[in-house]
Amino acid sequence: MHLQTSAHKILNRTFGYSSFREHQLSAIETVMAGKDVFVLMPTGMGKSICYQIPAMLLDGVGVVVSPLIALMQDQVNALRLNGVQADFLNSSLTREEAYETRSRLVGGKTDLLYVAPERLLAPSFQEMLQKVPVALFAVDEAHCVSQWGHDFRPEYLRIPEVMALFDRAPRMALTATADAQTRKDILGRLSLRSPASFVSSFDRPNIRYRVNLKEKGRRQLLSFIEQEHPGRSGIVYVRTRKRADQIAVWLEEKGIFALPYHAGLDQDTRALHQKRFIAEEGVVMVATIAFGMGIDKPDVRFVAHLDLPSSMEAYYQETGRAGRDGEPADAWMVYSLADLISMRRILEASSGDEAFKHIQRRKLDSLLGYCETAECRRKVLLRYFGEDLLTDCGNCDTCLQPPDTWDGTVAAQKALSCVYRTGQRFGAGHLADVLTANATARIEKLGHDRIKTFGVGREMTRQDWFSVYRQLLAAGLLTVGESAISGFRLTPRSRPVLKGEKNIRFRKDPEKDRILSKKRKKPVKAALDLTTDRQRHIFERLRSLRLELASSLQLPPYLIFHDKTLKEMAAVQPKSLEELLAVNGVGEKKAEKYGERFLAAIAEAGIDFSP
């Protein structure tokens, strides 16, 4: 059978989709021809299809290297529900379960085997793998191999040692996010051989990007969740373990179903919290970056950052966990001058060499520039990854509420001059006092009431000067030292501004009452594309049935069917298995298992509907 025909048949019959997305079929054909492949597709765009279908079509087993043991079971369960022969080998299995898995593998009954890099490197595993034909190697979350990426994992560096033992097997590297430097690193460190690269658009048009100044972060977060996503699943990212615990408890006290997740919790607690987040609806996970990679939950309606992430890649990867189902979702973030200073200090205090710090400074500068931009945020985000958006997106805060800007050249000169004349040793509070002629005891003791910049900024408020220093820091015109008591310092970028050779514009910060406004915004509905009350009634009935089935099978509801599939059922209201199979996301195996029950639910819900 022709390759395209075979691939389409699996896509339709097994996964329930009628057509491939961008680059999927090309990647499949390239791997089937025995060539190496690099795939970069945003979260939720179906990069796993690129290795799953070839593994099913080729002789032997497709070995998938994945960094997170906790998620392998969900990935394998999802494949098995679709009738795919898939297994995983990791430390969560009992001795008997591991023996059964090895028996299926050696017996040729496994098309896809998921393993962590540590298991792949074990000599006993390699010895077992020598007994079976290997169809391909797929290295998922491949950015972990790069020291320039946001989640470097040294064990990934040894993966090529194992792949070299199976030289005929094509190699695949897949990731959802990587800038040019990280992509180059992936290709080299994984020893890909003249690979074909398939890079999809980074744009996630269903995600609304929003960045606000942090005034009272907890109150802002609570208002955002209550007003726009009540009862919906979401992730809140914070920087420290202690903060994750505190915010989760605080949200619980305010009536939000919240759980913490971080590396400081014991393994059983982490596993339980992750299981509840995946399996239950309306859970808000408050987490450090220890949580999230590879999360397949499609109905995460928001990702909120209460602290700044480390880079644009980290921001993109983390926000990409929202709206995997293609439905409207929010990427919401708040930040302050203190956050900017903290991030700069963490970077300068890191143990990396100067080359490493230089790269990381550039990445941080890009993130801070994104925060302070008056331009369409999506344009700035995509430009970072080498992609140009020709028109404003209309779905970010700067498009929906364009910020005012002002010529800040003179203010910047005053602010930078004040940093220089006070010895480049002080922070924004002291500098703002000098500029506004607030003669504190400290200022008088240091003699800063007698320098030229004392009082030259009286026309602006102390808060205005905090805004100026925040934006100068974000633009790289100032930096900070490693110590908590070190102040702002000028950078090479400062000179052209001080000399009047370069103009600068600042964003005008919104008033405090606007930042903390409790004005209710229209929440994202669960069924935005359902146009009648009857359809919405059927959709809710189908969700109830799905939850009942998932509970009985001890599976996350979305592994039965995604919300998007249930909405299509509610909209078209199929009356036969043949019509049900035409719904996206309904493959033959699932139709065989659950079809009659869902058809009955649709019919019953339609009959008992009373507007």
CATH number at residue 578: 1.10.150.80
Residues 394, 409, single domain; the answer is no
Local confidence band at 525 (pLDDT 50, 70, 90 cut-offs): very low
Local confidence band at 482 (pLDDT 50, 70, 90 cut-offs): low
Give how many domains the chain has, as a whole number. 4
> Is the separation of the CB atoms in 328 and 524 below 8 Å?
yes
pLDDT digits (tens, 9 = 90+) for 65-74: 988 776 788 8
> Hey, what are 447's tokens?
């003699």
**Residue 70: per-residue pLDDT:** 66
Residue 528 has pLDDT above 50, yes or no: no
Residues 232, 133, single domain; the answer is no
**Residue 351: per-residue pLDDT:** 74
Beta bridge partners of 71: none
Residues 6+ apart with CB under 8 A from 10: 53, 56, 57
Local confidence band at 148 (pLDDT 50, 70, 90 cut-offs): low
Residues 121, 227, single domain; the answer is no
Residue 262 domain-assigned?
A: yes
Last residue of a domain, one of 177, 199, 221: 199
> Which residue range forms the structural domain that includes residue 114?
3-199
Residue 517 domain-assigned?
A: no
Residue 82 domain-assigned?
A: yes
Which residue in 464, 471, 217 sits closest to 334, CA to CA?
217
CATH number at residue 336: 3.40.50.300
Local confidence band at 3 (pLDDT 50, 70, 90 cut-offs): low
Residue 363 domain-assigned?
A: no
Residues 340, 488, single domain; the answer is no
What value does the mean pLDDT take over residues 362-370? Answer: 85
Residue 516 has pLDDT above 70, yes or no: no
What is the DSSP secondary structure assignment for residue 23, as one 8-state letter? Answer: T
| % residues pLDDT > 70 (the chain) | 93
- For 407, phi then psi, to 5°, come to -70, 110
Residue 348 domain-assigned?
A: yes
Cα 334 from Cα 217, distance rounded (Å): 7
Residue 526 domain-assigned?
A: no
Residues 189, 238, single domain; the answer is no
Residues 410, 395, single domain; the answer is no
Residue 521 has pLDDT above 50, yes or no: no
Beta bridge partners of 396: 209
pLDDT digits (tens, 9 = 90+) for 389-415: 989 999 999 999 999 999 999 999 999
**Residue 233: per-residue pLDDT:** 94
What value does the mean pLDDT take over residues 365-388? Answer: 89
Residues 501, 480, single domain; the answer is yes
Residue 528 domain-assigned?
A: no
Residues 24, 160, single domain; the answer is yes
What value does the mean pLDDT take over residues 90-95? Answer: 86
Residues 542, 602, single domain; the answer is yes
Residue 435 domain-assigned?
A: yes
Residues 389, 481, single domain; the answer is no
Residue 518 has pLDDT above 60, yes or no: no
**Residue 545: per-residue pLDDT:** 94
Residue 295 has pLDDT above 80, yes or no: no
Average pLDDT, the chain: 88
Q: What is the pTM of this model?
A: 0.79
Q: Which residue has the higher pLDDT, 235 or 295?
A: 235
What value does the mean pLDDT take over residues 446-475? Answer: 92
Residues 146, 9, single domain; the answer is yes
Sign of CA dihedral 305, 310, 315, 321: negative
Residues 41, 131, single domain; the answer is yes
What value does the mean pLDDT take over residues 141-161? Answer: 81
